[in-house]
Structure 1
């Protein structure tokens, strides 16, 4: 394994751990809410509902990282 492979693995693990901690934090916040109604949705979120959603952002970022990793292996391997 090269140094770049190790760095990419470490970055991947950090992204996964960050997502896990963020998800757990959000889960605890919603667990203790007592009101039956949600708050008003921000206007920016209404105009861009997909780009402000952390789940979609995670999928987009993961897809970009995966494609970059595939491109790296394709370009660095000898045919």
Structure 2
């Protein structure tokens, strides 16, 4: 059972990393396409575009929770 849990944890981290990279690529593509058509963005958001995006906060929080759960299982389950 513990080996299965470790494999699921690794798969979850791979999915998380892949979706984060995909989100960055789509974000760049959309920003390039809409750069001429979009309205002016607030200066604070222009200075820190990634810090003000809730999707990236969700990725960071999900990654930290996943790592915490994996470490918890790794140290609490006897091999």
The answer, yes or no, to whether TM exceeds 0.5 is yes
Unaligned 5+ runs, structure 2: 42-51
Higher relative contact order (CA 8 A, sep 6+): 2
Within 5 Å, which residues of 2 pair with 1:7-26? Answer: 7-26=8-27
Which one has the bigger helix percentage? Answer: 2
Q: Post-superposition shift, 1:67?
A: 0.9
Moved over 4 A (4+): none
Q: TM-score, normalised by structure 1?
A: 0.69
Map 1:1-79 to 2 at 5 A. 2-33=3-34, 34-35=36-37, 37-38=39-40, 53-77=54-78
CA distance in 2, matches of 1:60, 1:36: 30
User: TM-score under structure 2 normalisation?
Assistant: 0.69
Deviation (angstroms), 1:36: 5.7
Q: For residues 53 and 38 of structure 1, do their structure 2 counterparts lie closer, same or farther at Cα, with a shift above 3 Å needed?
A: farther
